[in-house]
Chains A and B, each alone.
Chain A
Amino acid sequence: NAGVMQNPRHLVRRRGQEARLRCSPMKGHSHVYWYRQLPEEGLKFMVYLQKENIIDESGMPKERFSAEFPKEGPSILRIQQVVRGDSAAYFCASSPLGFSGANVLTFGAGSRLTVL
């Protein structure tokens, strides 16, 4: 079992460019969560998706950020027109059922975005 796979591990973008981060959940997991870790901070919830549905995007910035989890393929976190404040590590997690604390999330190794 390959676990939660994220790529790229490192991504460098210039201000104004687009960043796309991909997450393949564990086999058999249909629930995906994205978290952001700013420097010197803990992880903060961004969005929860099931296949083809956004369940909760309350942690996503209102502009420039979007996420999808298509029927086929990985989940994508997209950041348009990146700014320096978007520099962070972005973590994806997955679970077989909706996470409720009674089960556990499996995290990927994260994607580190650096905006020049």
Chain B
Amino acid sequence: AQTVTQSQPEMSVQEAETVTLSCTYDTSESNYYLFWYKQPPSRQMILVIRQEAYKQQNATENRFSVNFQKAAKSFSLKISDSQLGDTAMYFCAFSGAGSYQLTFGKGTKLSVIP
């Protein structure tokens, strides 16, 4: 079974600064997908970024980028130029190739301070 670990229950960052959220996972599969989801106070789950394990290039989406270290089974999320609207819970998630289930970590609560 896969596990996803987010070791930072809470973090804070000053507006316009950069913050990195950590995620590690455990799997015996060689091909899989990793995701970061954002859950603002509205509770809506919003996909932030997605990484395919067989791609060495780190995924980026505007101010969001990941540092994917396959050997270390690490998948951290970097948020640049933090904005107040980035305040939310952030969940790291794993899906094996061909699996229709997502396995989520417990989340990191990020607060952006003005």
> Could you say which of B42, B52, B106 contacts A41, with CB atoms under 8 Å apart?
B106
Residues of chain A lying within 8 A (CB to CB) of residue B50: 104
Find out whether the CB atom of B33 lies under 8 angstroms from the CB atom of A102: yes
> Could you say which of A40, A42, A98, A110 contacts B100, with CB atoms under 8 Å apart?
A98
> Could you say which of B42, B45, B52, B98 contacts A43, with CB atoms under 8 Å apart?
B45
Stretch of B12-20, B61-69, B89-97 lying at the A interface: B89-97
> Could you say which of A40, A43, A48 contacts B104, with CB atoms under 8 Å apart?
A43
Find out whether the CB atom of A101 lies under 8 angstroms from the CB atom of B104: no
Bin the interface of chain B by size.
20 to 34
Check: A100 CB closer than 8 A to any chain B CB. Answer: yes
Bin the interface of chain A by size.
20 to 34
Within the assembled complex, what's the spacing in Å between the Cα atoms of A113 and B60?
A: 36
Find out whether the CB atom of A45 lies under 8 angstroms from the CB atom of B43: no
Find out whether the CB atom of A100 lies under 8 angstroms from the CB atom of B45: no
Residues of chain B lying within 8 A (CB to CB) of residue A107: 37, 44-46
| Closest chain A residue, CB of each to CB of B89 | A42
| Max count, chain A CB within 10 A of own CB: residue among B42, B96, B99 | B99
**Chain B proximity mask over A49-92: 1 for CB below 8 Å, otherwise 0:** 00000011001000000000000000000000000000001010
Within the assembled complex, what's the spacing in Å between the Cα atoms of A48 and B102?
A: 11
Find out whether the CB atom of B97 lies under 8 angstroms from the CB atom of A110: no
Within the assembled complex, what's the spacing in Å between the Cα atoms of A31 and B100?
A: 10
Within the assembled complex, what's the spacing in Å between the Cα atoms of A20 and B108?
A: 30
Find out whether the CB atom of B95 lies under 8 angstroms from the CB atom of A101: yes
Residues of chain A lying within 8 A (CB to CB) of residue B46: 107
Q: A48-B101, A56-B101, A100-B99 are in contact. List 14 more A-B contacts (CB 8 A).
A: A31-B100, A35-B102, A43-B91, A55-B100, A91-B45, A99-B100, A100-B95, A101-B95, A101-B98, A102-B33, A104-B50, A105-B102, A108-B44, A110-B45
